[in-house]
Amino acid sequence: MQTHRYDVIIVGAGGAGMRAAIESSGRARTAVLTKLYPTRSHTGAAQGGMCAALANVEDDNWEWHTFDTVKGGDYLVDQDAAEIMCREAIDAVYDLERMGLPFNRTPEGRIDQRRFGGHTRNHGEAAVRRACYAADRTGHMILQTLYQNCVKQGVEFFNEFYVLDIMLTDDPENPGEQICTGAVAYELATGEIHVFHAKAVIFATGGAGKVFKTTSNAHTLTGDGMGVVFRKGLPLEDMEFYQFHPTGLAGLGILLTEGARGEGAILRNESGERFMERYAPTIKDLAPRDIVARSMVLEVLEGRGGGPHKDYVYLDCTHLGAEVLETKLPDITEFARTYLGVDPVTEPVPVFPTAHYAMGGIPTTVNGEVLRDTDHVVRGLYAAGECACVSVHGSNRLGTNSLLDINVFGKRSGIAAAEYSKTVDFQPDAELPADTVISMVENLRNATGGERVADLRIALQATMDANSAVYRTEETLKQALTDVQLLKERYSNVSVQDKGQRFNTDLLEGIELGFLLELAEVMVVSALNRKESRGGHAREDYPSRDDTNYMRHTMAYKEGSELISDIRLGWKPVVQTRYQPMERKY
């Protein structure tokens, strides 16, 4: 076992982690621990754009952006946080421009902007051009730009280090409370365990899309950070709200950016009808994702889907012309050709919703401080990016608001953690800080049970796709819960084939599955208890939004320390500053 000591450690080297590192490393001794090589993080897969009311191509302002974010999130958004995000968006884009990000440009040389779902002019009058972009590789450019700037600044990276636990001890200044003193990691190359003592730890571990089978998410998005925090008895917020992106390649889930509709592409059913005109008469195909995904599923359920099984609809880009497709949407054009053998230049592309984004996560303040309940923070522990819940996305994130979130709240948490680290001393060693991780790793390595990781993962993803996707009911959610709990029992009998020390990815997949099972249970339990439809959570048995009973965030806590445990639910009020909940029409 090796030990290290830093003022701040950041877990995760996606957009959120590296944006935090750029701030923190200039102020305090900082290390970034990441299970992937930094430029392989999922931020690099983001396609469409990052929004900010720059008003470069038409009239716009950050107040309209705030309103759209609140309405887009079906009014479950904390409005103070949304205001901060939309106001600071403008600097966030210029920060990236100064760091060297090659944005698409207008003929006058300004950063170009395009339309995206739910972003409107003057409180819903019409779609507005607010998304800054670099072709359909915006996330790739953000990730590369941030990485280069981290390297320039001498940020220390520990690549292929899996953080599997954090260290919490009694807070000397606040009796009865805990303080975070570091994290414990498993080094993939050697199988060694490393203890990182730190004054502050920032989690930026990304999403958990691998709970589902049909997903736009990378294989690595297994919700580890949320899982680690949850196992410590800390809450997860709003986990019932999972976003299904409307345009996944049918049957595969690979993403076609909403930027395609931003450039003018149209959704059609089997008869060629532009069906979004019926569901969202004003902004049609550019309605927020929850509304478009529900509409697509309804078209299929009512028999208007296309293909041999009538189980998808079409994204029609044919009128955009080869030049727009090749220059502004080159990657997705290629994806459709490669994976479905369909050429978007001449044919409509079969699409269906794909699991995409976790609106919920580790609850934080606007400076990234992690909450241990509705009103108290855990000193020294921070979270930012998709693993966190600020909450700026409420029950449904608007497209392009996540690349924005990771930049704004990545930066804020990096500053906050570094400044905090200057005010405290290192705490004495916790007793046997690595014990939990050593037993987690060794128990799995030495296990001889008959269950296989892959079998359990397939079964988990199948039940989540079938029972906890765009539409759910009491009955389907109960089925999902029974299945997940059974899988958790089977998981205690799982074994891995590779018993070695070096590059044992088999072992890590087994550990990741444990986090996925844990999170799936939280998602389903939270969903069962929200008897209304709002944003990404559409209940067939409770089709309306119920502000009287459910205008509040869900907080889920793990009771007991074993894998098989109870989940206790609590609530947190929604912060409403300017906008009263209204009926959501587009």
Helix axes 505-529, 435-446, angle to 10 degrees: 110
Distance CA 543, CA 108 (A): 48
AA letter at 107: P
Report the phi/psi class of residue 469: left, alpha or beta, with left for phi > 0 and alpha for psi in -120 to 50.
beta
Only segment of 32-40, 107-115, 287-295, 464-472 that touches ligand FAD (CB under 6 A): 32-40
User: DSSP of 325-379, one letter per residue?
Assistant: HHHHSHHHHHHIIIII---TTTSPEEEEEEEEEES-BEEB-TT-EEESSSS-EEE
Count, residues in the chain: 586
Count residues near ligand FAD (CB under 6 A): 44
Among 46, 236, 266, 296, binds ligand FAD (CB under 6 A): 46
Is 386 annotated in some ligand binding site? yes
Q: Is 304 a catalytic residue?
A: no
The number of C-alpha atoms within 13 Å of 80 and in the hemisphere containing its C-beta is: 9
Cβ closest to ligand FAD, residue 77 vs residue 551: 77
Shortest Å, Cβ 129 to ligand FAD: 15
Contact 191, 504 (CB under 8 A): yes
Is 188 annotated in some ligand binding site? no
Cβ closest to ligand FAD, residue 289 vs residue 539: 289
- Does 15 bind ligand FAD (CB under 6 A)? Our answer is yes
Q: What single DSSP character describes residue 158?
A: E
Is 54 annotated in some ligand binding site? no
- Does 243 bind ligand FAD (CB under 6 A)? Our answer is no
Using alpha carbons only, what angle is made at residue 219 by residues 538 and 521, rounded to the nearest 5 degrees? 45
Only segment of 100-108, 168-176, 384-392, 489-497 that touches ligand FAD (CB under 6 A): 384-392
Is 205 annotated in some ligand binding site? no
How crowded is residue 101: how many other Cβ atoms within 10 Å of its Cβ?
21
Only segment of 20-28, 35-43, 296-304, 419-427 that touches ligand FAD (CB under 6 A): 35-43
Cβ closest to ligand FAD, residue 160 vs residue 483: 160
Six token digits for residue 124: 């819903």
Catalytic residue of the set 115, 129, 231, 289 = 289
Write down the residue that tokens 């106001």 correspond to.
87
- Does 204 bind ligand FAD (CB under 6 A)? Our answer is yes
Q: How far is CA 384 from CA 74, 232, 241, 388, 561, in A?
A: 22, 18, 18, 5, 25
Is 39 annotated in some ligand binding site? yes
- Does 73 bind ligand FAD (CB under 6 A)? Our answer is no
Only segment of 6-14, 174-182, 277-285, 534-542 that touches ligand FAD (CB under 6 A): 6-14
- Does 385 bind ligand FAD (CB under 6 A)? Our answer is yes
- Does 36 bind ligand FAD (CB under 6 A)? Our answer is yes
Closest listed residue to residue 370, CA positions, set 385, 386, 357, 389: 389
Contact 105, 77 (CB under 8 A): no
- Does 360 bind ligand FAD (CB under 6 A)? Our answer is no
Distance CA 371, CA 233 (A): 11
- Does 92 bind ligand FAD (CB under 6 A)? Our answer is no
Site for ligand FAD in 105-164 (CB under 6 A): 138-139, 162-163
Is 147 annotated in some ligand binding site? no
Site for ligand FAD in 522-541 (CB under 6 A): none
Instruction: Tell me which residues are annotated as active site.
Output: 289
Binding site for ligand FAD (CB under 6 A): 11-17, 33-36, 41-43, 45-50, 138-139, 162-163, 204-207, 216-217, 224-225, 255, 257, 357, 385-387, 399-403, 406
